[in-house]
C-alpha cells in the first residue's frame, strides 16, 4: 500500500497561497497521492485546484452536531459540501490547547463516519506519561474511548502522534514509533478483528521531515505520516510523498 502522507497546515496559508502550493505540487507528484488539510477558509479553493490530480483534500477539525447554535463551528455536512474527504479528529492541539474531551472526540468520530468523511483519529502520550511508562495505557484509553460502540472500523485512519514530538523537532526513533504502532494495532484488533486492524492505516506524526521519514516508513506497522511544519513548503512536502 502506498504510504499516506497527510499535510496538516494548521493556521497557515491563505486561499491564494493554497492555490499556488497545489499548482506547484502537481508536477512534483509523479505517480504519488497527496493528502492536504488546509484551514477551513481554503478548503474550497484547494478542492478546485486539486481537480484532475491525485490530491485529496480534508479538514483539520469539525463539530459533532449536524447543525445548530454553535457559533464559530463547522459541521461535517458543510465540509462534505466543500469537497473535504477526510477530517482530523482529536489532534493533540485540540485535546490539550482547546481542551476537547475524549467523549467529544468519540462523538465527532461517530458523526464523521455517519457523514462518510474518513476520520483520522489522532492519539498520543504526553512526555510525562512516556517518562512514567504510561504510553500503552494512554493509547488504550484514547483508542477505546474514541471507538467505543463503533462496529465498522473499515473507514478509519489512526495517527499516532506523541505530544512531545509535535512541532518540537524531537522525532521518535523508528523503533520507538514502531513499538507504539504495534500496541495500537493490537488494541485495534481487540476492538474489531485482526483482519480489520491489519488494514487500518496507522500514521506517525511528530517532527517528520525529509531526512527522517524513510526510517519511519521502513517499519512494518507505519503506513504513513501526519506532518505539520515540513508540509508547508512544497519541495519538502513533495520529497516526503516521493520517499519510497
Report the interface residues with ligand PEP, using CB under 6 A.
Answer: 8, 161, 166-167, 205-208, 226-230
Let me know if 161 is a catalytic residue: yes
Distance between CA atoms of 175 and 193, rounded to whole angstroms?
A: 25
Name residues whose C-beta falls within 8 Å of residue 136's C-beta, 6 or more positions apart in sequence.
183
Distance between CA atoms of 178 and 222, rounded to whole angstroms?
A: 7
Let me know if 63 is a catalytic residue: no
Nearer to ligand PEP, 117 or 230 (CB): 230
Nearer to ligand PEP, 7 or 43 (CB): 7
Chain residue at closest Cβ approach to ligand PEP: 228
Nearer to ligand PEP, 43 or 191 (CB): 43
Q: How far is the CB of 61 from ligand PEP (least distance, A)?
A: 12
Q: Is 110 helix (H, G, I), strand (E, B) or coil?
A: helix
The answer to whether residues 148 and 103 touch, using CB atoms and an 8 Å cutoff, is: no
Task: Find the catalytic residue in 45, 115, 161, 223.
Answer: 161
Q: How far is the CB of 71 from ligand PEP (least distance, A)?
A: 25
Q: How far is the CB of 213 from ligand PEP (least distance, A)?
A: 11
Q: Is 67 helix (H, G, I), strand (E, B) or coil?
A: coil
- Give me 21's grid cell: 502550493
Query: What single string gives the DSSP state of each residue in 122-148?
Result: EE---HHHHHTT-HHHHHHHHHHHHHT
Task: Find the catalytic residue in 63, 91, 106, 181.
Answer: 91
Q: How far is the CB of 202 from ligand PEP (least distance, A)?
A: 14
So which residues are the catalytic ones? 91, 161
Amino acid at each position: 500500500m502506498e504510504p499516506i502522507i497527510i499535510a496538516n497546515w494548521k493556521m497557515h496559508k491563505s486561499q491564494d497561497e493554497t492555490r499556488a502550493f497545489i499548482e506547484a505540487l502537481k508536477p512534483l507528484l509523479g505517480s504519488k497521492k497527496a493528502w492536504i488539510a488546509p484551514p477551513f477558509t481554503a478548503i474550497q479553493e484547494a478542492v478546485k485546484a486539486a481537480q484532475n490530480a491525485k490530491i485529496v483534500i480534508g479538514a483539520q477539525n469539525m463539530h459533532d452536531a449536524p447543525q445548530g447554535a454553535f457559533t464559530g463551528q463547522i459541521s461535517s455536512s458543510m465540509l462534505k459540501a466543500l469537497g473535504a474527504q477526510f477530517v482530523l479528529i482529536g489532534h493533540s492541539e485540540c485535546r490539550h490547547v482547546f481542551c476537547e474531551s475524549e467523549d467529544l472526540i468519540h462523538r465527532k468520530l461517530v458523526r464523521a463516519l455517519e457523514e462518510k468523511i474518513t476520520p483520522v483519529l489522532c492519539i498520543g502520550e504526553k512526555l510525562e506519561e512516556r517518562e512514567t511508562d504510561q504510553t500503552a495505557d494512554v493509547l488504550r484509553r484514547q483508542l477505546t474511548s474514541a471507538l467505543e460502540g463503533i462496529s465498522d472500523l473499515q473507514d478509519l485512519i489512526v495517527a499516532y502522534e506523541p505530544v512531545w514530538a509535535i512541532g518540537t523537532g524531537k522525532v521518535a526513533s523508528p523503533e520507538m514509533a514502531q513499538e507504539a504502532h504495534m500496541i495500537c494495532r493490537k488494541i485495534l484488533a481487540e476492538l474489531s478483528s485482526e483482519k480489520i486492524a491489519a488494514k487500518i492505516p496507522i500514521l506517525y506524526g511528530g517532527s517528520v521531515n525529509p531526512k527522517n521519514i524513510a526510517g519511519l516508513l521502513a517499519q512494518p506497522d507505519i503506513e504513513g505520516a501526519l506532518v505539520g511544519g515540513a508540509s508547508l513548503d512544497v519541495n519538502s512536502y513533495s520529497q516526503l510523498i516521493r520517499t519510497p
